[in-house]
Structure 1
Amino acid sequence: MSVFDEPKIDCHAHVLDPARFPYSPQVAYHPSGQEIGTTAQHLEVMKTFGTHHTLLVQPNSGYGGDNGCMLDALRSYPDVFKGVAVVDLDAGVDTLSALKEQGVIGIAFNPTFHGVDYYRDAGALIGKLAELDMFLNLQYEHDQLRAFVPWIETIPVRVLIDHCGRPTVKDGLNQPGFRTLLDLAQTGRVHVKLSGYNKFSDAAYPFADCWPYVRALVQAFTLDRCLWASDWPYLRATDRQDYGPLVRLAETLFPDPADRRKLFWETPRQLFGFGG
């Protein structure tokens, strides 16, 4: 079986449809051109590359906290998509529960966009996520993770880490931020998306300088807590990215079909409760 025919769950992609869901004027960056990816377009990409389900993550670009475009996708294709939303830090249980009923399984924190200080009072929200069995989806870079560790260690919330934790490649595997991430494997509640290489690599595709980080993450977390994702449609990418080559890269990194089955399908299906 070709790697393109192997069943997949994409654990990080975005939908943007400014024609139907206009961007917020309060958000500075409005994706355009190749960055725009509608629900219909993403469904075609999924069919082409054997992707049965996608975890849609609300983008800060374009929409900010307006989850309308993503929620429309979840409402239109509830058997295909689940979502990660953006909410105000003072969001209550009723707001979170209403989102959960619509197929939202987690809330996105993005200190790469807002900075760490923005989240200084986020403990109450993280506690509500734990109470509702929803995920904290965390995108950070360099050593920003360290500010969140006390909450992650003391609040029994399940955590999704975006894009391998976006380490500083030149600083090596022993850099404090990356060691902090590896140590969190001991919680059993933290899961890592093997994705977004162009966001932290100093090299072009196939991002060979990222491979040691991928291997270290798999060794620490095992494939029971690692997830594959495309990051489609590649917002703010500095050079061209394509879905097919990223699938092929997964085949290079994980040549054993049984490993890919776990990474592409079994682990995310069990974690997120997707059907067949």
Structure 2
Amino acid sequence: MPAVDCHAHAFDLTRQGWGGDRGFDIASNELGTAPQFLHMLASHGFTHGVLINPLGGYGADNTYMLEAIAAAGGRLKGVALLPDATAEAEVHRLVEGGIVGIRFNLDFPTSPPLRAHALARAREAGWFVQIHYHHGESFTAAIPLLRAAGLPVIIDHSGRPELPGGLQQPAFRALLDFGRDSDAVIKLSGVFRFSETGSPYVDTDPYIAALIEAFGIDRCIWGSDWPFLRATSRTDFGPLLAALHRVVPDAADRERVLWRNPARLFGMQGEGR
């Protein structure tokens, strides 16, 4: 069965140097090239991946991601950053190069800002909007603009709930409500970023289960977040995938999360069951 890792980053300093507008630096142990990513996926039985421009390292320059997609033979798609000043010719190049969405980092000052103009450009390009945030209040404030935009929305890293706040914390409840009354997609990723106990991340299970209930299994996707930028402890692909299997024990449901849903969202081709 084909499967998609919907969240990863790739860097190759022999192909592209660091960007002056980067949001944070990439440590040497966090480097990973696109061919290394594809090999890692194949080692775990995955066939496709989605590269995300994380703002760190290359900043808003999407050059290496486009090169990696072109060399991958249809196995990769990309989510770019789109500064306000980006020319229409560059937007066309991104569309033609396999970019399927743009990302906004709500809590990074150097990120392209979430504005109606940027959302309109995404709509014209046929893209979805991917939202990442560290603080739930940032997402809550953005909800009215996202609702008015009229284009698909993907929420990164399970909304990064703060586990001490519990399932009833206002920002997480707002995310669940957004899932129930919109067509938004939740990315069941990043559990290592908000777990308090670490691997095997059992403390995150109730939050993932609540997200699946609110969004519905057909609007859930998964990503590893390889090569685990800024992780605070040892992180590996296998335990993260095992955490998904634990919360989604039904094989048919996992097929939706790992293949059918992302294939539909990102326009990927492969042999299904």
TM norm structure 1: 0.91
Distance apart, 1:114 and its partner CA: 2.4
Q: What is the rounded CA distance, in whole Å, between the counterparts of 1:151 and 1:28 in structure 2?
A: 24
Q: What amino acid is aligned across from residue 32 of structure 1 in structure 2?
A: A
Match of 1:113 among 104, 108, 111: 108
Task: Verify the 8 A CA contact 1:91 1:125 in the aligned structure 2.
Answer: no
In structure 1, the residue matched to 2:141 is 147
SS in 2 for 1:51: coil
User: Structure 1 residue 218: deviation in Å?
Assistant: 0.3
Matched, 1:160 2:154: yes
Q: Decide whether aligned partners of structure 1 residues 119 and 261 sit closer, same or farther in structure 2, where only a CA change above 3 A counts.
A: same
Spell out the pairing of 1:1-276 with structure 2 (5 A cutoff): 6-27=1-22, 29-91=24-86, 93-114=88-109, 119=113, 122-141=115-134, 142-276=136-270
| 1:144-194 CA-partner distances (Å, limit 9, x unpaired) | 101211111112111111000111111111212111111112444310100
Aligned 8 A contact 1:74 1:81 in 2? yes
The percent of aligned pairs where both chains have the same amino acid is 37
Cα separation, partners in 2 of 1:103 and 1:173, compared to 1, 3 Å: same
Distance 1:265 1:11, change over 3 A: same
After TM superposition, what 4+ stretches of structure 1 lie above 4 angstroms from structure 2? none
Relative distance call for 1:78 and 1:152 in structure 2 (3 A) is: farther
Structure 2 residue ranges without an equivalent (≥5): none
SS class of match (2:56): coil
**How far is the alpha carbon of 1:139 from its aligned partner?**
0.3
**SS of equivalent residue, structure 1 residue 27:** coil
Secondary structure at the counterpart of residue 150 of structure 1? helix
Give the match's secondary structure for 2:212.
helix
Give 1:3's aligned residue: none
Q: Deviations over 1:244-266 (max 9, x none)?
A: 22122222221211111111111
Q: Distance in 1 between matches of 2:84 and 2:181?
A: 24
Do 2:156 and 2:189's aligned partners in 1 also have CA atoms closer than 8 Å? yes
